[in-house]
Chain A
């Protein structure tokens, strides 16, 4: 014990003060992030009527599972929505990663004559888009994909941002000399990609993969636009629509005589937030360290 103490580099007062400020600020920031979430969790475990009267607190008021009971009342639907989201996330991320890596690798190769043109075309779509109606028309009337599961994951497998991120990453972490030496040794493009490039772009894959996966996990819009049956709904859409139904029905009932049962209460809304974010929270810490390196490397070398 004493040994370690004497060996430690003595800090002067300003360094100690800096530490305090640093830790203080970080604690504060962490609290700002964590407290609202605690309120959500405690709110979701409170009794609705009590919350209405007394407001939210950090600890559950009048503890009750009723909000979760409401959500899981028909577990079949929510489980199905979970399953579908996991399916979309898995297949979308896998296919997306493959397509993005292939594209990024191709346009990062100096041998590819038109790489700048192709890069520009990809970049171009991030600035100009066709708009909602043509987009919808294309998928429904021309491709006839309305109601399929394909349409839910397919449109999001690639985004210009991710392709450019990946290209920059590959260009930065794989020096030309390495690929050139591989070529001299007789490797083809395929071998270079799988044996030389892929092993060193781990952080890049994690970053892009996480972006893709989060995108899929949080998406509700494509279900909203294209689903024709509850079977294909994504989880976020299932939950979001539950809230929207409540709002719509209560609004509707101002103009018409419609019955108003099944309006979720405040605590149910909070419980939904917990149900929807839970898995992502668990999943984040594992990928996060790659995520940080991935983003900064891409950014600096860009």
Chain B
């Protein structure tokens, strides 16, 4: 008996510890190749076997090789977001075309917005999808580098030449990781330039300056306070879970004088992107903190601001007279609509920081894109289907807007929704947006005007209309411990400093710097800079 038990124990220990080590490797599903290769031994053998029959035998000279559609196949298209109620209706309509043309059915599946990163990674790991939505914020770069997606160059040449021509090599190149193409970007350039939303009605009412600089922003706040002491001026929140430069969100307004902030206290210069300048150790940092302290002392925000919850309704409910962080042209439109509904006498205006700094650019190509999951059994078909979804106007519109007459109608060339069950881009297929087919909504004309204006500014940049840092993603596995410590120290010292809740700014800045160094900032910076250099070299940014 005893011997049996001890034997079992030994056996279990062996099992458990081998299990544990395997799990450690797997723990971050995002950035590890071993796990990917572990789950896909068959697929890797399969992929070449599949491609072998076509592209390699028929080189480019005859154009596209024949697509094998002998077998009815269902491809899973995995999207990020919530499923609209009428997905099945649209799927059926779409599959009628798909079966006829490619003998293929599409099955759209969704992450939902709960735990979506985990589920997204799990689905890639288990090969649970064929086509998949990708984006920078879903770690496209890291996933691609770890081999989660199929290389698309040959597939595109053979099965989606039209799409390739339409996208253009420049855009496609932006989606390359380590020289290989892993994603097809959406084809609608959009500007999500951050900026400031402010109350134009108050500017007019009290003859205040437009907040187009930090001085003017201060004067704008003070003017409102002088004229209407009861009006809350600014509602801010603290950011305690990152390594960037803005611990209290009023500091986002600094982007009005710097081209942009990077992590670990660096400033980015659009004319000289490869060289990052130190912000935390600069005099500017001290000056900026002092400015914020004068604002805090003037009572623009409450002493309890650091514990404020993120409140998207603060502006429309009059709890703040400006938003300086997280705004963009589309949010401006949301604000306009909110005001029109609830406070017709208020007026909101928007100023993109890039209009002041001169650096403005559209979203990076990898913001919304489509990839084919490694392990997809029918990559040729997936590619052909993708081209069809993006290059055929009717099909594209079916996916984006639903069925005409049931879900939407077109009035004066504008999209009008008819059904709650399938809204505009209801499946969150932002990756299938195509400029020529995108049906404008009522507010899109304003949006387009803003985009056109930003495009003219973007033209004059050193890298015209290129989102320089857009595809950079940091791999901090080598200095994770230090990074965690830096996050904690930053969370403790930076928000009060930028919210002006310290008595002596100089002393507090000194303390902040010392603590950051003690936490291991140097090591993080070293690793970060090396990766940034490599990134700039890869994309020829100097």
Closest to A141 in B: B126
Q: Is A230 an interface residue (CB 8 A)?
A: yes
- Which chain B residues numbered 170 to 186 have a C-beta less than 8 Å away from chain A? none
Query: Within the assembled complex, what's the spacing in Å between the Cα atoms of A258 and B26?
Result: 33
Query: B305-338, CB under 8 A of A: which get 1 and which 0?
Result: 0000001111001110000001011110010000
A136 sits at the interface (CB 8 A): yes
Q: Report if B424 contacts A (CB, 8 A).
A: yes
Any A CB within 8 A of the CB of B8: yes
Q: Cβ of B115: which chain A residues have Cβ within 8 Å of it? A: 224-225
Minimum CB–CB distance from B402 to chain A (whole Å) comes to 15
Query: Are A257 and B8 touching (Cβ within 8 A)?
Result: no
Nearest neighbor of B190 in chain A, beta-carbon distance: A257
A49 at the binding interface (Cβ < 8 Å): yes
Check if A224 sits within 8 Å of B8, measured CB to CB: no
A286 CB within 8 Å of chain B: no
Question: Does A256 count as interface, using CB distance less than 8 angstroms?
Answer: yes
Is A137's CB under 8 angstroms from B125's CB? yes
- Bound complex: CA of A224 vs CA of B113, how far in Å? 9
- A34 proximity list for chain B (CB < 8 A): none
Q: How far is the CB of B38 from chain A (nearest CB, A)?
A: 10
B113 touches A248 (CB 8 A): yes
Complex: A213 Cα to B463 Cα, angstroms? 60
Q: Which of B16-30 contact A (CB under 8 A)?
A: 16, 19-20, 22-23, 26-27, 29
Report B-chain residues with C-beta under 8 Å of the C-beta of A247. 113
> Which of A94-102, A124-132, A294-302 binds B?
A124-132
A11 interface residue per 8 A CB criterion: no
Let me know if B328 and A53 touch, CB within 8 A: no
Contacts of B1 in A (CB 8 A): 113
Specify the chain A residue showing the minimal Cβ separation from B420.
Answer: A74
What separation, in Å, do the CA atoms of A14 and B185 have in the docked complex? Answer: 79
- Set of chain A residues within 8 Å of B4, measured between Cβ atoms: 117
CB-contact partner of B122 in A116, A120, A133, A252, under 8 A = A133
Complex-state Cα separation, A49 to B316, whole angstroms: 9
Give Cα distance in the complex from A263 to B329, angstroms.
Answer: 18
B171 to chain A, nearest CB (A): 17
A117-B5 contact in complex given A255-B192, A257-B447, A260-B334, C-beta closer than 8 Å: yes
CB distance A53 to B326 under 8 Å? no
A146 in contact (CB, < 8 A): yes
Q: State whether the Cβ of A244 lies closer than 8 Å to any Cβ in chain B.
A: yes
Contact indicator per residue, chain A 64-96, by CB within 8 Å of chain B (1) or not (0):
000000000010000000000000000000000
Which residue of chain A has the shortest Cβ distance to B88 in the bound complex? A229
Tell me whether A277 is interfacial, beta carbon within 8 Å. no
- Against A, the Cβ 8 Å flags (1 = close, 0 = not) of B139-150 are 000000000000
**A255-B137 CB under 8 A given contacts A250-B312, A260-B331:** yes
Interface residues of B in 45-99 (CB under 8 A from A): 81-83, 85
Is residue B227 contacting chain A, with contact meaning CB distance below 8 A? no
Residues of A273-295 whose CB lies within 8 A of B? none
A265 to chain B, nearest CB (A): 7
Size of the A side of the interface (Cβ < 8 Å), in residues, is: 49
* B26 with A131: CB separation less than 8 A: yes
Q: Which residue of B is nearest A247, CB measured?
A: B113
A257 to B116, CA, bound (A): 19
Given contacts A53-B319, A136-B126, contact A256 B430 (CB under 8 A): yes
Distance (whole angstroms) from the CB of A272 to the closest CB of chain B:
14
Distance A43 CA – B99 CA, assembled complex (angstroms): 52
Known contacts A49-B317, A52-B317; decide if A240 and B367 are in contact (CB<8 Å): no
Chain B residues closer than 8 Å to A105, beta-carbon distance: none
Q: How far is the CA of A213 from the CA of B470 in the complex (A)?
A: 48
Q: Mark A220-231, 1 if CB is under 8 A from B, else 0.
A: 100011001110
Q: Does B223 contact A (CB under 8 A)?
A: no
Asked if A237 lies at the interface with its beta carbon under 8 angstroms from chain B, I say yes
CA distance A74 to B85 in the complex (A): 11
**Contact (A245, B82) CB under 8 Å given A53-B318, A131-B27:** yes
**Residues of chain B with a CB closer than 8 A to A52's CB:** 311, 313-314, 317, 319
A241 touches B368 (CB 8 A): no
B113 lies within 8 A of A241 (CB): yes
Residues of chain B lying within 8 A (CB to CB) of residue A257 = 190, 192, 328-330, 447
Chain A proximity of B447: nearest CB distance (Å): 7
Nearest neighbor of B421 in chain A, beta-carbon distance: A74
B114 at the A interface (CB under 8 A)? yes
Task: Return chain B residues, CB-CB under 8 Å to A229.
Answer: 83
Choose from B81, B112, B331 the contact partner of A224 (Cβ within 8 Å): B112
Contacts known (A224-B112, A253-B330, A256-B192); A133 close to B83, Cβ less than 8 A? no
User: A258 contacts which chain B residues (CB < 8 A)?
Assistant: 330, 425, 428, 430
Least distance between A53 CB and chain B CB atoms (Å): 6
Contact yes or no, B114 A140, CB < 8 A = no
With beta carbons under 8 angstroms apart, the residue of A130, A133, A241, A253 that contacts B112 is A241
B39 part of interface (Cβ distance < 8 Å): yes
- The answer, yes or no, to whether B44 is at the interface (CB within 8 Å) is no
B363 at the interface (CB under 8 A from A): yes
B109 within 8 A of A: yes
Whether A254 lies near B326 (C-beta < 8 A) is yes
CA of A52 to CA of B232, assembled, Å: 12
Most chain A CB within a 10 A radius of its CB, from B1, B114, B119, B425: B114
Q: Which residues of A contact B85 (CB under 8 A)?
A: 230
Minimal beta-carbon separation of A138 from chain B (angstroms): 10
In whole angstroms, how far apart are the Cα atoms of A230 and B83 in the complex?
8
Q: Kindly state the separation between the CA atoms of A247 and B113 in the bound complex, as whole angstroms.
A: 9
- The verdict on B35 contacting chain A, using a C-beta distance below 8 Å, is yes
Q: Does A188 contact B (CB under 8 A)?
A: no
Judge whether A134 is part of the interface by a CB distance below 8 angstroms.
yes
Q: B39: which A residues are within 8 A, CB to CB?
A: 137, 141
On whether A224 and B119 interact (CB within 8 A), knowing A133-B29, A136-B126, the answer reads: yes
The 0/1 profile, CB within 8 Å of A marked 1, for residues 507-522 of chain B is 0000000000000000
**Inter-chain contacts of B447 with A (CB < 8 A):** 257
The answer to the question of A38 belonging to the interface, with a C-beta cut-off of 8 Å to chain B, is no
Q: A116-B5, A130-B19, A224-B119 are in contact. List 6 more A-B contacts (CB 8 A).
A: A128-B20, A241-B112, A244-B114, A254-B194, A255-B367, A259-B330
* A positions within 8 Å CB-CB of B: 48-49, 52-53, 74, 113, 116-117, 120, 124, 128, 130-134, 136-137, 140-141, 146, 220, 224-225, 228-230, 237, 240-241, 244-245, 247-250, 252-261, 263, 265-266
* A–B pairs, 22, beta carbons within 8 Å: A52-B311, A52-B313, A117-B5, A128-B16, A131-B27, A133-B26, A136-B122, A137-B126, A224-B114, A240-B114, A241-B113, A244-B113, A245-B82, A252-B137, A253-B330, A254-B331, A255-B136, A255-B137, A256-B363, A258-B430, A260-B330, A265-B313
Would you list the 8 A-B pairs with minimal beta carbon distance, nearest first?
A257-B330, A248-B113, A131-B23, A244-B113, A52-B317, A254-B326, A245-B113, A244-B114
